[in-house]
Structure 1
Amino acid sequence: MATEAAPLPNVTLVFGPMLIGVFINMILYGVLLGQILTYYKMYQRDAAWMRYFILVLFIIETANTGFDIAFMFQPLILQYGQKPNLFPTVFITQPLCVVLVSTPIQLYFAWRIRSLTKSYWVPITIAVLALASCTGGIWTAAMIHIVQTFANKAKLHNSALVWFLSSCVADILITISLVISLTRRKTGFSGTDSVIDKIIRMTIQTGMLTAVFSILDVVCFMVLPHAAINFIFDLALSKLYTNCLMSTLNSRQKLNIIPGGGASEQRRNTSYGLMPTSPAPRRHPENFEQRQMNGSAMYELETQKAPYDAEVAYGAPAGDEFGIQVTTIIERIEDPIPHPYA
């Protein structure tokens, strides 16, 4: 007499959210590839350390994507049909990859805020929170190795709270500090203020996105201890941090901001002078050449005097080599706008 096969365990609330999180992670990895290609194509003159920093982040993100695929392959394929008791073997890499990405990015923003505000308190606070988040992530990875089972997931609460809450508060402080600093730099000129407003909107959108995902991660982790809903947000965190950084770096070209310098409006000039009677072609009295040196805009003025026959033209005494020239130069240079991400 044939025996009925045992029903398969219900893994919907355990591996279902994890699988969705891996899908989001992989989609964001594709977006990241485009962002990094754009960066290395458009910003070849960025500092070498910045370009290496982006390269290291890309290597970590590539490894993170591979680990995510591996820890979903184990329970859904290799252990198909088994009750989900243990965490996947490589699941320990998830918190490590997140903090290896988020902590350097938060420290980078702390440095930029220090450069913009000339203040130490907020950057130091952000740096302390970033390091606390890193400690919490490493602590969580160690606890996953010790706990090993989904049944003891509650034992991860303390380490996870240190990790997520520190990171969330750091993201909020970064966003608020940049917005306040940029708002204070408004000059009243519509062109300058328009660019500042664009940077502010981008700062809020990118900074708050990572903070919201961190909040949703910790809320779902605490409120739903027997489900894995929080992994929908957790598995996307590292890619969100890197994509937000890359989008803000790549926005410099779109906003027409020169790193370390300012946005300048092209100079216009109007000249009023005596027309020469000589058939020789007359050169414009002023020739402006815009040159960029060391990342800042520099203008040079080259003056060319043209010969005039003053006696014939205006009855002036003979012997005058030059006629009278009146030159009006209308010049407007907008205040420098240091890009917060450059």
Structure 2
Amino acid sequence: MAPPNPELFFGPMLIGVFLNTILYGVLVVQTFNYFQTYKMTDKALIRYLVIYLLVLETFNTGCVMEMMYDILVKPLARTKPPSGPPKPPMLLSADAVVTVFISTPVQLFMARRICVLSESIIVPVVIALLSFVSLGGGTALSVLVTVIPDFSRFNEFYPAVSTWLGASALADLLITGCLLFTLQRKRTGMQATDGIINKIMLLTIQTGLITTVFAIADLVLALSVQGKGFNFIPDFALSKLYTNMLLASLNARTDYGAILSNPDNLLFRSTPNSNKGQVASVPIRFGHQSGVSIVDLEGAQATEAKYDRDFGRPFRHQNSDDSV
């Protein structure tokens, strides 16, 4: 295999670093919002997972930035240019293993949520197995890059690349599809309940499919465009997408909880209910009112509580004094 063209190899790599650092900024903001909202209510294990991901993502961003410094800056300080084809930067070997150490816990976390929602372990077990296969493939790739630091021999890494990204993309696809299927079955025909389910489904599509598309793009580009670094564009962004996906799922509960715990907000208008002596919430949409019964609101609370079971306590009314 011929030595890579530096412009076609390192140029896409630099673009991937740009995406990585941009998504890291988004990640920091999401982490801050998470701890501002849920540090006192979520289970300790969930909080530790977020801290673990933040630490690894910080290390990952530092690695890719140092790689580009090693490639673009250090050669300018040398008195004579190096002989032979360019060598991979030392920290490139950390990319795959750090990514799978991030993606695997996220995929296992989502598998757990599917298990709670669907009350079945078959698909979650399959997702877990694929996640561990991806973990093995990414770890093997990092070992190979360390042992064989030669761009011209990257074709020898393709089995490990295929195992890592193929298993990861399939796991992400199963997570997205199973969540959508399970949530679709939870529809009750009640407006508030189905509204919550629609929002969760939309979030699932927005986040789950992004990681799937990027993993597939990374795999296809790595195998089809040999001798060039186009695969590094989605590759360097992949770990950040997994973490942002998880944090988006965690932080989205703020919106659902505001609706369920406080009917007297900008989206809901309170009207007296003489039959039950309670307050029925009536959502305002484009100036029109459509009645939502107390039973409908309680159904939405039950749906969200089940979806949120693993985080600690579910959303409750603001005057609730339940302990964590």
Q: What is the TM-score normalised by the length of structure 2? A: 0.80
1:218 equivalent in structure 2: 219
Distance 1:271 1:100, change over 3 A: closer
**1:181 counterpart SS class:** helix
Give deviations 1:78-115, integer Å, cap 9, x for gaps: 12455652110111110011001000000111111111
More helix by share: 2
Asked if the contact 2:113–2:307 (Cα under 8 Å) also holds between the matched residues in 1, the reply is no
2:33 equivalent in structure 1: 38
Q: Which amino acid aligns with 1:75?
A: I
Q: Which amino acid aligns with 1:151?
A: S
1:317 equivalent in structure 2: none
* Moved beyond 6 Å, runs of 4+: 262-267
Asked if the contact 2:272–2:278 (Cα under 8 Å) also holds between the matched residues in 1, the reply is no
Give deviations 1:184-217, integer Å, cap 9, x for gaps: 1111011211111111011011000000000100
Distance 1:267 1:72, change over 3 A: same
Distance 1:42 1:15, change over 3 A: same
Distance 1:233 1:331, change over 3 A: closer
The separation in 1 between residues aligned to 2:85 and 2:12, in whole angstroms, is: 14
2:73 equivalent in structure 1: 77
Q: Which amino acid aligns with 2:64?
A: D
The separation in 2 between residues aligned to 1:253 and 1:222, in whole angstroms, is: 41
Segment drifting more, 163-172 vs 47-56: 47-56
Segment drifting more, 174-183 vs 71-80: 71-80
The separation in 2 between residues aligned to 1:159 and 1:106, in whole angstroms, is: 19
Q: Work out whether 1:270 is the aligned partner of 2:288.
A: no
1:50 equivalent in structure 2: 46
Segment drifting more, 27-36 vs 83-92: 83-92
1:24 equivalent in structure 2: 19
**1:227 counterpart SS class:** coil
The separation in 2 between residues aligned to 1:49 and 1:267, in whole angstroms, is: 41
How far residue 142 of structure 1 moved from its aligned partner, in angstroms, is 0.7
2:110 equivalent in structure 1: 109
Structure 1, unaligned runs of 5 or more = 1-8, 273-285, 289-329
Q: How many residues align?
A: 277
Q: 2:7 aligns with which of 1, 12, 17?
A: 12
1:131 equivalent in structure 2: 132
Asked if the contact 1:257–1:339 (Cα under 8 Å) also holds between the matched residues in 2, the reply is no
Give deviations 1:53-80, integer Å, cap 9, x for gaps: 1001000000000011111111111124
Point out the structure with max Rg over C-alpha.
1
Distance 1:10 1:224, change over 3 A: closer
Q: Work out whether 1:93 is the aligned partner of 2:94.
A: yes
Structure 2, unaligned runs of 5 or more = 264-269, 280-292, 312-324
Instruction: Report the aligned-residue RMSD.
Output: 2.3
Percent identical:
37
Tell me which of the two structures has the higher relative contact order, counting C-alpha pairs closer than 8 angstroms and 6 or more residues apart.
Answer: 2
1:169 equivalent in structure 2: 170
Q: Which amino acid aligns with 2:307?
A: H
